[in-house]
Amino acid sequence: MNGFGTIDDLLKKKPSVPGAANTSRKTPSASSTKTQQAFEKKMREVGAKEIETEAQRFAQDIGLPHIDLTSFPVSHAALRKMTTEQAKVLKAVCFFASQDEIRIGALDPSQEEVKNLLHELTERHQANGAAYVISQKSFDHVIDLYKTLPTVTPVSKDIVIEEKELQEVQKNIDNFDSFQDLLEKKSITDLVTLILGGGLKLDASDIHIEAEELEIMVRFRVDGVLHDAASIPKESYKRVISRIKLISSLKINITEVPQDGRFTIKLEEGDIDVRVSTIPTVYGESVVMRLLVQKEEAPSFEELGLRGQALERLQREVGRPNGMIIATGPTGSGKTTTLYSIMYKLNDPDVKIITLEDPVEYRMEGINQSQIDKSHEYTFAKGLRSMLRQDPDIAMVGEIRDLETADIAIQASLTGHLLLSTIHTNDAFGAIPRFLAMGVRPFLLAPALNCVIGQRLVRRLVDAHKVPAELTEKQLTQVQELIDTLPEDIKAEVEAKPLQFYSAPERTENGELGYKGRIGIYEIFTIDEDIEGLLSKGAASEYDIRELARKKGIITMAQDGVLKALDGLTSIEEVFRVIE
């Protein structure tokens, strides 16, 4: 700020009036009153000019343009970009808005809150933006203009699907064939409600609406695999896309560029957050809706599929008061669910747990949950710094993807916190090399890291549809190699039984799925003196760590998958599909 003080300070200075301090003066005559009023008007005009000049000087100091809004035509469209309450709190207004341009004026545009406002408006409307310095007079003028706005009920991002309507849709859907039959009925008018209802009934995580040359395909991703669910008439396509865009706060008339939006389905049993993405394709826009069903309880370790050696290792490490527990695997491998199962087990009244996620997938009582917001530069690294000031016993960070976040996480785990997080590697043995590639110092990583969980999700066989499977020579060879390298006690148990595996069709003749639900396959290794020795020598490659783990008898994901296939929980094809 310059030497003149703030604009607000200048406004507090009232122009001095000669004789104002003489309280014993007589009541002025009518002529003297007029003279006094004229003088005060003149002083107000002088004060206003001084204030505008001060705003101009301040604009020069901070390197931003100045504008006088008292004579600028501010449209209703610009005023509606922010509420009166927002404007008064931030001392900022939107004075110009078009399809491509957003302009805001503020008493102090250099404030972080004003910068965030401009960033949010430009991101939301996909427009170019600029900030200007305005005076208090300009600000008050625009605030007065809000009184001219007609009363309009805002469009809500939340849609309420009537329970009766949704139940009517869902009771008629048992499989993909019945979903297609329902779509073809002429009585169905709200195709979006029907598609959402079908996706929820069939437990889809994502709904894809794809424009093809002759028809519009609706596809559901169920248990990680995409299925053709139905097709809809091409003449209904634009109506469906427009409806989705409307409730997602997307621009209906923009079809040449990708857009992202969201809405919430309000149901009695809980909210469903829907993330919407559109991209232009050759035959029209492709839309993907991700259904994030808010869950209140995480599954137990046993329900996840943890058992035997892996279960024992994890239970031991979860009981430690500090250190890092890292889950690894590709997107959609269940890492967050595993971390929530750990927090669910540790969630006691005397324990403070804070999470930092993108997005929040479970709503759990007793846990302080926070969601990152890149539009406001609220990142994992910044959020973790703030989180640690809250003095948590357990902290969960959705992902470690850079050195800054990794360093903060390591320091937290070394200073008495139990820190849970994820990292993207193919298996547990690649986590340490990934940390080192970020630039983490080995001598700090070894004492900070408790254990690493590698995992995948395999689909469960439906008992009613599973049949004995005959393996190919290649599959038999792969299975035998995995069995041969099992720990001796487990290997003996496996070899004492016949090698019987099972399979099932992807889709039966009546449209039912041969696989339903998923279970995890895991590998868990803990950091011990041997691993620390590798780190101290700088030789902690993925190959070295895997070989050391094998010598210690750690069961790999592939081996865990074979054991679950032998138990009839899944198929060998499914295990090799997610591993390879």
**Interval 436-453: pLDDT, tens:** 999 999 989 999 999 999
Backbone angles phi, psi at 248, to 5 degrees: -95, 5
Asked whether the bond before 299 is cis by omega within 30 degrees of 0, the reply is: no
Rounded to an integer, the average pLDDT of 142-169 is 60
The pLDDT confidence band at residue 534, using thresholds 50, 70 and 90, is confident
Q: Could you tell me which CATH number the domain at 301-579 has?
A: 3.40.50.300
Rounded to an integer, the average pLDDT of 411-432 is 94
- Answer whether residue 252 shows pLDDT above 60: yes
Asked whether the bond before 442 is cis by omega within 30 degrees of 0, the reply is: no
Instruction: Of 140-149, 461-470, 530-539, 548-557, give the lowest mean pLDDT range.
Output: 530-539
Question: Given CA atoms 58, 62, 63, 65 in this order, what sign does their dihedral have?
Answer: negative
Most confident of 85-89, 155-159, 227-231, 420-424: 420-424
Rounded to an integer, the average pLDDT of 23-27 is 39
- Answer whether residue 409 shows pLDDT above 90: yes
The residues near 559 (Cβ < 8 Å, ≥ 6 apart) are: 482, 483, 485, 486
Rounded to an integer, the average pLDDT of 13-39 is 41
Instruction: Of 101-110, 270-279, 348-357, 450-459, give the lowest mean pLDDT range.
Output: 270-279
What percent of the chain has a predicted confidence (pLDDT) above 90?
49
Q: How is residue 93 written in tokens?
A: 């207004």
Rounded to an integer, the average pLDDT of 74-81 is 83
DSSP 507: B
Question: Given CA atoms 235, 241, 247, 253 in this order, what sign does their dihedral have?
Answer: negative
Give the angle 528-530-533 at the CA atoms, nearest 5°.
110
The pLDDT confidence band at residue 560, using thresholds 50, 70 and 90, is very high
Listing from the earlier edge strand, what are the strands of the sheet with 515-526?
A: 367-371, 353-357, 394-397, 418-423, 323-328, 449-461, 515-526
CB-CB contact of 250 with 278 (8 Å): yes
R_g of the chain, CA atoms, integer Å:
32
- Answer whether residue 430 shows pLDDT above 70: yes
62: left (phi over 0), alpha (psi -120 to 50) or beta: alpha
The residues near 83 (Cβ < 8 Å, ≥ 6 apart) are: none
The residues near 101 (Cβ < 8 Å, ≥ 6 apart) are: 127, 128, 129, 130
- State residue 471's pLDDT score: 94
- Answer whether residue 378 shows pLDDT above 90: no
Separation CA 399–CA 413 (nearest Å): 15
- State residue 518's pLDDT score: 95
Nearest of 271, 262, 276, 331 to residue 295 by alpha carbon: 271
Report the length, in residues, of the chain.
Answer: 580
3-state secondary structure of 267: coil
Burial class of residue 108 in the structure, from the number of CB atoms within 10 Å of its CB (0-12 exposed, 13-18 middle, 19+ buried): buried
3-state secondary structure of 57: helix
**Interval 167-211: pLDDT, tens:** 666 666 777 777 777 676 644 457 888 888 888 888 899 999 999
Which residue ranges make up each domain of the chain? 1-16+29-152, 158-293, 301-579
Q: Which CATH number fits domain 1-16+29-152: 3.40.309.10, 3.40.50.620, 3.30.465.10, 3.30.300.160?
A: 3.30.300.160
- Answer whether residue 317 shows pLDDT above 90: yes
Nearest of 350, 323, 367, 358 to residue 526 by alpha carbon: 323
Q: What's the start-to-end Cα distance of the chain, in Å?
A: 60
Instruction: Of 290-294, 391-395, 552-556, give the lowest mean pLDDT range.
Output: 290-294
Separation CA 1–CA 58 (nearest Å): 7
The pLDDT confidence band at residue 69, using thresholds 50, 70 and 90, is very high
Q: What is the DSSP string of 135-155?
A: -HHHHHHHHHHGGGSPP-PPP
Measured between alpha carbons, how far is residue 455 from residues 13, 422, 428, 522, 575 in Å?
67, 11, 8, 5, 12
Instruction: Of 218-222, 230-234, 503-507, give the lowest mean pLDDT range.
Output: 230-234
Same fold, 1-16+29-152 and 158-293: no
**Interval 126-152: pLDDT, tens:** 788 999 999 999 999 999 988 876 544
The residues near 307 (Cβ < 8 Å, ≥ 6 apart) are: none
**Interval 39-67: pLDDT, tens:** 444 445 556 678 888 999 999 999 999 99
pTM > 0.75: yes or no: no
Nearest of 128, 123, 141 to residue 55 by alpha carbon: 141
CB-CB contact of 172 with 162 (8 Å): no
- Answer whether residue 36 shows pLDDT above 60: no
The pLDDT confidence band at residue 233, using thresholds 50, 70 and 90, is confident
Rounded to an integer, the average pLDDT of 302-308 is 94
Rounded to an integer, the average pLDDT of 414-443 is 93
Q: How is residue 576 written in tokens?
A: 């090799």
CB-CB contact of 406 with 384 (8 Å): no
What percent of the chain has a predicted confidence (pLDDT) above 70?
85
- Answer whether residue 8 shows pLDDT above 60: no
Separation CA 432–CA 442 (nearest Å): 9
Average pLDDT, the chain: 84
Give the angle 484-485-488 at the CA atoms, nearest 5°.
85
Q: How is residue 551 written in tokens?
A: 């010598």
- Answer whether residue 15 shows pLDDT above 50: no
Strand partners, 518: 459
Separation CA 342–CA 225 (nearest Å): 27
The pLDDT confidence band at residue 343, using thresholds 50, 70 and 90, is very high
- State residue 25's pLDDT score: 38
Burial class of residue 41 in the structure, from the number of CB atoms within 10 Å of its CB (0-12 exposed, 13-18 middle, 19+ buried): exposed
More confident residue, 465 or 25: 465
- Class of domain 158-293 as given by CATH: alpha beta
- Answer whether residue 434 shows pLDDT above 70: yes
- Answer whether residue 99 shows pLDDT above 90: no
Separation CA 102–CA 100 (nearest Å): 7
Separation CA 559–CA 291 (nearest Å): 32
Distance of CA 482 to the CA centre of its chain: 37
